[in-house]
Chain A
Amino acid sequence: MIKKLLAFSFLVFLSFAPKAQDSLWTLLQSQTAGENEKVIATFKSTKIISAQSNETLKKRNLDFRVAHLFGNMGNASGGGVHTLYGLDQSNDIRIAFDYGITDRLMVSVGRNKRQENLSGAAKFRVLEQTMDDKVPLAITIYGNAAFTPKSDPENIYVPAARRMSYCAQAILARKFSSRFSLEALGSFIHRNLVDLRINPTDKNDLVSLGFGGRFKFTHSVGVIADYFYNFRDESTGIKMYNPLSAGIEIETGGHVFSIMFTNAVGLLENDFIPNTPDSWSNGGYKFSFNISRIFKL
């Protein structure tokens, strides 16, 4: 009987003996097993330079954005010291409001200097990359419509539907590491009116394949670039080039300062993807900067 009792009390003691911390640890680890975290900040902003990034604004964030594209810097394209390397001129100015309706859906309205384009756009994150790579890519779709209210003494814009142009994009992006992100964009542009006096073989529809990327040197400083290759016949009329942009971005707390150069002449997809008559090799690169302020509503 005593033996039994001893055995019993020993058992009791064993079952209530303080557990080693390591088992507490394993218990805790099992409770906090990883969730499918989404990859954040593939790019710092909703645009890389000329190209849309896969990023959208977060819910209830309003971004007031003023983008400025100066004149050509190189002598051969009308730049040089007498225009202070293009700073005396402005090719395009865009004033826009972007707003995040949800964390995945963003809308924007804006006005451009070029063509006096008034535009509305929507951008939606279809798929977000996850940390565990079950979803290896982010997919975002973007669409806009622009209306040019230019005065029309020659009745070119009759009927008024000719004033419209559209752009649809699918953006595939991947953040390979905290330093390196890459994206590919497929663009389809439709302009209701193309000026055949400029390019007799121009078509209303244009397909373009774009690439964009970022490489960060430090947590705050990186290089960014994007490029659009246009699938079209460029044998006649005024030669149009593929827009190539490159820049440096420096993040300082609330702001991202970007120093950007591009041969594009406009800031709206519908305009700069089809119409870029300037080339890098001919001094047709321009300085560009953005002012962006995000308000949480």
Chain B
Amino acid sequence: MKKIFLILLLIASAYIGRAQLYTCNEGTVSFFSEAPLENIAATTDKVSSFLNTATNEVIFVIHIRGFTFEKDLMKEHFNEKYMESDKYPTSTFKGKINEQVDYTKDGTYNVTATGMLNLHGVEREINAAGTVTVDKEKINVKSDFRIPLKGFNITVPKLVFENIAEVISIKVNTNYIPYKKK
């Protein structure tokens, strides 16, 4: 009986040793618009995200105002005219990594994720490809995907059409550490 108890305890402690809830401690989300007249790029490091390794669920919240641009005027137009960040201050993603990843084994895994992206008040399902890299207690997630502006109800006035691409590339690079309750 005592043996069983000890084994159970061991299993339990092993469970505790491997956290399953990971929080993003540093990360960037950037986007890139390539157009004939002007390329526009912006990055934010104000990324909040959680990864649940038991369920493969991943969620993101990004503050639209946090994106920094090369020109201050671009940032103003981005917030005022396109993203309407006073009405829609955040963009969110709730999704799931489709492939099984062995989070106990170090290595880089090619994965895809499917989930709902909420941007500019419009929610749409997106698929994104990327990698998950496990390095002991740390997990890195990288992804590259493209979204159409029209699909998210973001309209570009005709006069500036040449300046902004219709499809925007988005890059995500986030590092996760085990989540500890404060």
Contacts and interface: CB of A to CB of B under 8 A. Distances in A.
Interface of A: 1, 5, 8-9, 12, 16, 18-19, 21, 24-25, 27-29, 31-32, 34, 37, 39-41, 58, 61, 131, 178, 218-220, 250-254, 294, 296
Interface in B13-28: 15-16, 20-21
B89 A34 contact: yes
Interface stretch (B46-54, B99-107, B124-132): B46-54
Contact of B50 (A12, A27, A131): A27
B81 A219 contact: yes
A40 B8 contact: no
A1 B80 contact: no
A62 B61 CA distance: 34
Contact of A294 (B8, B65, B73): B73
A21 B94 contact: yes
B90 interface: yes
B153 interface: no
Given A19-B21, A32-B90, A178-B86, 6 more contacts: A18-B54, A25-B94, A32-B63, A178-B80, A219-B82, A294-B73
A220 B157 contact: yes
B84 interface: yes
Contacts of A251: 77, 81
A253 B48 CA distance: 31
Of all A-B residue pairs in the complex, the 10 with the closest CB atoms, nearest first, are A253-B160, A58-B72, A219-B81, A252-B159, A18-B54, A253-B163, A18-B55, A32-B48, A220-B157, A32-B61
A253 to B, nearest CB: 4
B137 interface: no
Contacts of B163: 253-254
Contacts, number: 88
B119 to A, nearest CB: 16
A18 B20 contact: yes
Given A5-B5, A32-B63, A296-B72, A37 B50 contact: no
A241 B72 CA distance: 38
B111 interface: no
Interface of B: 1, 4-5, 8, 12, 15-16, 20-21, 38, 48-50, 52, 54-55, 57, 59, 61, 63, 65, 70-73, 76-77, 79-82, 84, 86-87, 89-90, 94, 157, 159-160, 163
A220 B38 CA distance: 19
A253 B159 contact: yes
A220 B81 contact: yes
A40 B48 contact: no
A132 B16 CA distance: 42
Given A16-B15, A219-B80, A28 B50 contact: yes
A178 B71 contact: no
B100 to A, nearest CB: 14
B4 A5 contact: yes
A16 B20 contact: yes
A28 B65 contact: no
